[in-house]
Amino acid sequence: MNNVTNGAIELAGTKVMVIDDSNTIRRSAEIFLLKAGCEVILAEDGFDALAKINDHHPQVIFVDIMMPRLDGYQTCALIKKNPRLHDIPVIMLSSKDGLFDRARGRLVGSDEYLTKPFTKDTLLEAVRRHRSQSA
C-alpha cells in the first residue's frame, strides 16, 4: 500500500474553487485541498470568481460571505441563477455561526454552511459530500 490515504485518492482531480478576500483563508484551504489531490482555483471576490468559473468549471465552490464589491450571498445567487452553473454545490464560509446567516445562505441557494476557521477534516468532508452530488 502506498502512503497516499484513501481520502486523497477519493478526491484526486476534484476541481474546487475557494472564493475569499482573506489571503490566509485562501492559502490554508488551498494547502488542505492540494494535499488531498484536488485541483484548486482561487478567487479574491465574487467578480474574480465569476470570471474564473466559466474557464475552470469547478465541481465544488466555497464562498466567503463577507467580501468587498460582491459578497458571498450575491455571488451564490448569481451562480445558482445561471442555468449552466446552478448544479455546482456552493458552500458558504463565515466567521459567524448565526441562524440568520445560515437561513440567508439557504435563501440564495447555498448547499451548506461552514464556520471559519475550518479544519482540514471539515473542509475535505464537505468536498466529499458535495462532489458526489455534482459528479
- 1 falls within a domain: no
pLDDT digits (tens, 9 = 90+) for 47-104: 999 999 999 999 999 999 999 989 999 999 999 999 999 999 999 999 887 889 899 9
Q: What's the number of domains the chain is made of?
A: 1
- 49 falls within a domain: yes
Which residues share a beta bridge with 17?
41, 61
- CATH value at residue 81: 3.40.50.2300
- 91 falls within a domain: yes
- 7 falls within a domain: no
Instruction: Tell if the pTM clears 0.85, that is, is over it.
Output: yes
92/109 Cα distance (integer angstroms): 10
